[in-house]
Amino acid sequence: MYFGCPENLLRGVSDFRLWRSGRDRNACLCGGKFSARPAVAPFLMKEGGGRRRFVRGIGVLVALMAGATSSLAVAENMRVLRVAADPNNLPFSNERREGFENKIAELVAQDLGAKLEYMWWPQRRGFFRETLGAGRANLVISVPAGFERVLTTRPYYRSGYVFVYRKGVAALTSFDDPRLRQTKIGVQLIGDDGFNAPPAHALAARGIVENVRGYTVYGNYANDSPPSAIIRAVAYGEVDVAIAWGPMAGYFARRESVPLEINAVVPESDGPMLPLTFEIAMGVRREDQALRDGIQQVIERRNAEILKILDEFGVPRLALENPKKESDHVVAR
């Protein structure tokens, strides 16, 4: 997921059966080697020899084509699932394959009988252009359902923003809680231009500004999992409460030495134009409908295992609004 904030996504190769050899898909086998020339040429274009030579040639041709068909079938079955992912973005993914997206990718590849490979790319602006768009990958494990830059599956989980605070503090669940006017609050900021996530907009609409501190989701990439800084700030007392994307907050809150609590922000939207929950799907290139449909079947077959992975990583989940309905397009920023 894009540094823990689905709306930051709003700012692969077309063929799932990638040939690892890199040879021309239209080449055929002649004498056990790939050649750009049609295998039929030595037999159907040779002059003279009469009926017997022609029949003998046809027999050789049939045998050769049978061998070619078998070899091509083997090549077609050498499938590669190349996932675009961030190498330093737990709990979602890292190059040591420790994130929940890594675990889900392994499950999907295993079910499809494919070899799993990664296209590692920091999830900054341009992520989709440089990965799926450039043909370097064919799958992203987590995108907002209906995200218009890709072809998405149906959503496989839904999560939202949460309050994070030290254990022992009375529960926080609403932006209208009067304590928010008197306490230090950490919010996530997206992008180098300080683009604000929904919680920052919700607080600003209530005039809660002076006591708010921003934590960029990009952070210092020299550190492990830069977005976790906002959760660490609660544990260290830099802020009293953080409002952060649930999957990231749930994972890091349970790993701090200071006991922390998390509570979902309610209601699930702050007015009609500011959603605080998002349904998450998998995304492929827009022309890869067959791959999308195959992955959708995996999601349905392995749903219980996928949800178990999410639970093991502390991802706070909400009920899907309509899991069988194709999602509407989300406008990309």
- DSSP conformation letters of 108-128: HHHHHT-EEEEEE---STTHH
Look at residue 115 in the predicted model and tell me its pLDDT.
97
Instruction: Please state the pTM of the whole predicted model.
Output: 0.75
Look at residue 326 in the predicted model and tell me its pLDDT.
53
Look at residue 191 in the predicted model and tell me its pLDDT.
63
Q: Give the pLDDT of the chain (333 residues) as one tens digit per residue.
A: 544 466 554 443 233 223 223 333 333 222 333 233 333 222 222 334 444 443 444 443 434 344 444 333 333 444 899 999 999 999 999 999 999 999 999 999 999 999 999 999 998 889 999 999 999 999 999 999 999 999 999 999 999 999 999 999 999 999 999 999 999 999 998 865 557 899 999 999 999 999 999 998 877 778 888 889 999 999 999 999 999 999 999 999 999 999 999 999 999 999 989 999 999 999 999 999 999 999 999 999 999 999 999 999 999 999 998 766 554 444 332
Return the residue matching tokens 């349904």.
Answer: 279
Contact 146, 328 (CB under 8 A): yes
Q: CATH topology for 158-264?
A: D-Maltodextrin-Binding Protein; domain 2 (3.40.190)
Look at residue 5 in the predicted model and tell me its pLDDT.
62
Look at residue 51 in the predicted model and tell me its pLDDT.
46
Tell me the pairing of strands 88-89 and 28-30: unpaired
Look at residue 248 in the predicted model and tell me its pLDDT.
97
84: which residues sit within 8 A by CB, 6+ positions away?
A: 12, 118, 119, 121, 127, 128, 131, 132, 136, 137, 139, 140
What span, in angstroms and rounded, lies between the C-alpha atoms of 234 and 183? 12
Name the residue among 83, 74, 100 with its Cα closest to residue 21. 74
Q: CATH topology for 6-18+78-156+283-312?
A: D-Maltodextrin-Binding Protein; domain 2 (3.40.190)
Look at residue 171 in the predicted model and tell me its pLDDT.
95
Look at residue 18 in the predicted model and tell me its pLDDT.
30
Look at residue 331 in the predicted model and tell me its pLDDT.
34
Look at residue 97 in the predicted model and tell me its pLDDT.
98
Name the residue among 279, 267, 263 with its Cα closest to residue 321. 279
Contact 9, 142 (CB under 8 A): no
Cα 158-160-165 angle, rounded to 5 deg: 140
Look at residue 21 in the predicted model and tell me its pLDDT.
32
Look at residue 225 in the predicted model and tell me its pLDDT.
87
> Residue 113: what are its φ and ψ, rounded to 5°?
70, 35
220 residue type, one letter = N
Look at residue 64 in the predicted model and tell me its pLDDT.
38
Look at residue 58 in the predicted model and tell me its pLDDT.
40
What span, in angstroms and rounded, lies between the C-alpha atoms of 289 and 1? 22
